[in-house]
Structure 1
Amino acid sequence: MSRADDLERIGEALRRAADVLARFTPGEIAYRVKSKGDPVTEADEAVDAALRSTLPLPGEGWLSEETADDPSRLDCARTWIVDPLDGTKEFVRGIPEWCVSVGLVEGDQPVAGGILVPSRGLTILGSLDTGVTVNGEPARVRELDGLDGITVLASRSEVKRGRWERFSSAPFAIEPLGSVAYKMGLVAAGLADATWTLVPKNEWDVAGGTALVRAAGGAVWRPDGEPLKFNQPKTLLPGLLATPAGLEQPVRDYLA
């Protein structure tokens, strides 16, 4: 199985997801609330089924927000980690800041990924071996080496809860947006400067984005300095930062 084959499979999965999503109207869809208070819709579950029918081959693991976890994935050399609809809260409100996120993990590291952003007509694909494309055209993170004047994409809910007040005097601007995968996709595509979240996120929220940002020449790391590993028994990560490589040290220094 070549990396080109992996990317073709991701592309096909995202095309099928787009076909599924075309049946639904954001802002006009019923939802129910899961045990932890997050909404889930028929669209989440239908996209999950489309991805699962396309991506994993026999012997490959599967981890999805909308599928009961199967611990056998921990024994797989390759595992697909997906969020069928990252930003469901925005989706049900009709806010166009949501996406489909796919990540392929080998061992404990994301090596390829894809993010579909229907509201902007974007398909972002890439791998560590091939780099990143946006709608078929090569893309890279922005060339930046300092914090002055940049814009950091922040979680709308984190901003609302006051978690970004500590940055009120920062040398950078803050733009609240929904969906961490969407924000990471924009950074990987060279359409945004940087993003980070300092609250826990699940692996499925960020696996695809991690692969893409790194493939596009960027850096992704945990705020606590511990190694970033995926396909773990406990899927919750203590936040994540994603920037062009030239911003990694300035951001680390600023947050220290």
Structure 2
Amino acid sequence: MTPDQQNLLEAVVRIAKLAGEEILDVYRRDGGIAAQTKGDDSPLTEADTRANDVIVSELKRLTPDIPVLSEESAVLPWDVRSQWVEYWLIDPLDGTKEFINRNDEFTVNIALVRAGEPVMGVVHAPALARTWSGMKGEGAWRQEGADVPQIIHSVKMPVEIESSSVMVVASRRHGGEQLQGMLDTLALRFKEVELVNMGSSLKICIIAEGGADIYPRLAPTSEWDTAAAQAVLCAAGGMICTLDFAPLRYNSKESVLNPSFIALGDMTFAWQKVLDLTPAPADSTQQ
């Protein structure tokens, strides 16, 4: 890693932790957490706004020529965003419902996206005092509090899967029949399927550090929900792909919604075959 890359990554970690302090100031107050409802029916709290203000102002000071797109800012028109080659993509408080419920499973997400790909990401979990970071081609790290960051790697799948278990992470709030169908398919291939539910980008970071194998997301998400953790996971040896196993891309269309996707720890494993997601042959009678 070059000195400039190191300095940039450390600066973004610092910014994420500053935002985390704003979030914890609200989180640790006595009484309930007040929330408004946004146009998409998702909650908005004082912590979202305060964290957003810190991140946006600090990033503009750090890299004044790089635009910033945030969940809590107005989404700029496509004719503007389509011209971006590089930009910051942030979710100041990922897992607002977890924050409101005070279960500690919320994160600050900051990603640098270049040509549609997250090339650097920081995910900070304020209540856990834990930070994940990653940079394309350089590696991924987990930091506990102020300790020295430790290198992390996703894990490889075993060759003999019939006698092995697979660890699945999934959302606390979004599952349904599609997810159950995928779990049933895995149960036919593996000796045991273990399922852990958790909130926010923590699911992807757990895969990046080798604590789980797969995270199927078959319900709606936005690009700021995934970019930072995707950068961490890819730098750790994993990947996030769509259901046709194409890499999840960013700022490639007017909508900022992601398609359904799968986060995987081992990108060399035959997941497409195991999950029975091989595309059907094209109908030659249709033009």
The answer to whether the superposition gives a TM-score over 0.5 is: yes
Determine the C-alpha separation between the residues in 1 that align with 2:33 and 2:127: 16
Determine the C-alpha separation between the residues in 2 that align with 1:173 and 1:76: 41
Between the two proteins, the alignment pairs up a number of residues equal to: 254
Structure 1: gaps of 5 or more residues: none
Match of 1:105 in 2: 113
Matching residue's letter, 1:34 = K
Matching residue's letter, 1:84 = P
Match of 1:118 in 2: 126
Matching residue's letter, 2:151 = P
Matching residue's letter, 1:37 = D
Residue 104 of structure 2, aligned match among 96, 110, 113: 96
Following superposition, the deviation at residue 162 of structure 1 comes to 4.2
The CA deviation string for residues 153-210 of structure 1, in whole angstroms up to 9 with x for no partner, is 0112223x4442212462322222222x121112112233321202232110100111
Is 1:67 the counterpart of 2:82 in the alignment?
Answer: no
Residue 204 of structure 2, aligned match among 181, 184, 187: 184
Q: CA 1:230/1:252 → structure 2, altered by over 3 Å: closer, same or farther?
A: farther
Determine the C-alpha separation between the residues in 1 that align with 2:269 and 2:44: 35
Following superposition, the deviation at residue 246 of structure 1 comes to 4.8
RMSD (Å) for aligned C-alpha atoms? 2.1
Q: 1:237-252 to 2 correspondence within 5 Å? A: 237-246=258-267, 248-251=269-272
Q: 1:48-197 to 2 correspondence within 5 Å? A: 48-56=52-60, 57-71=63-77, 72-135=80-143, 136-145=149-158, 148-159=164-175, 161-166=176-181, 167-168=183-184, 170=187, 171=190, 172-179=193-200, 181-197=201-217
Q: After superposing the two structures, state which structure 1 stretch, 90-99 or 192-201, moved more.
A: 192-201
Following superposition, the deviation at residue 252 of structure 1 comes to 5.1
Match of 2:227 in 1: 207
Following superposition, the deviation at residue 248 of structure 1 comes to 4.4
The 3-state SS of whatever aligns with 2:174 is helix
Matching residue's letter, 1:237 = N
Following superposition, the deviation at residue 226 of structure 1 comes to 4.3
Q: CA 1:46/1:241 → structure 2, altered by over 3 Å: closer, same or farther?
A: same
Q: After superposing the two structures, state which structure 1 stretch, 91-100 or 143-152, moved more.
A: 143-152
Match of 1:40 in 2: 44
Residue 18 of structure 1, aligned match among 14, 20, 23: 20
Contact 1:62–1:73 (CA<8 Å) still a contact in 2? no
Matching residue's letter, 2:221 = K
Matching residue's letter, 1:234 = S
Q: CA 1:80/1:111 → structure 2, altered by over 3 Å: closer, same or farther?
A: same
Contact 1:131–1:138 (CA<8 Å) still a contact in 2? yes
Contact 1:184–1:213 (CA<8 Å) still a contact in 2? yes
TM-score, normalisation: structure 2:
0.81
Q: CA 1:227/1:22 → structure 2, altered by over 3 Å: closer, same or farther?
A: closer
Determine the C-alpha separation between the residues in 2 that align with 1:130 and 1:49: 29
Determine the C-alpha separation between the residues in 2 that align with 1:2 and 1:226: 31
Following superposition, the deviation at residue 212 of structure 1 comes to 0.7
Q: Which has the larger radius of gyration?
A: 2
The 3-state SS of whatever aligns with 1:24 is helix
Identical-pair percentage:
29
Is 1:31 the counterpart of 2:47 in the alignment?
Answer: no
Following superposition, the deviation at residue 227 of structure 1 comes to 4.7
Q: CA 1:183/1:128 → structure 2, altered by over 3 Å: closer, same or farther?
A: same
The 3-state SS of whatever aligns with 2:17 is helix
Contact 1:61–1:73 (CA<8 Å) still a contact in 2? no
Determine the C-alpha separation between the residues in 1 that align with 2:113 and 2:37: 29
Structure 2: gaps of 5 or more residues: 144-148, 278-287
Q: CA 1:4/1:63 → structure 2, altered by over 3 Å: closer, same or farther?
A: same
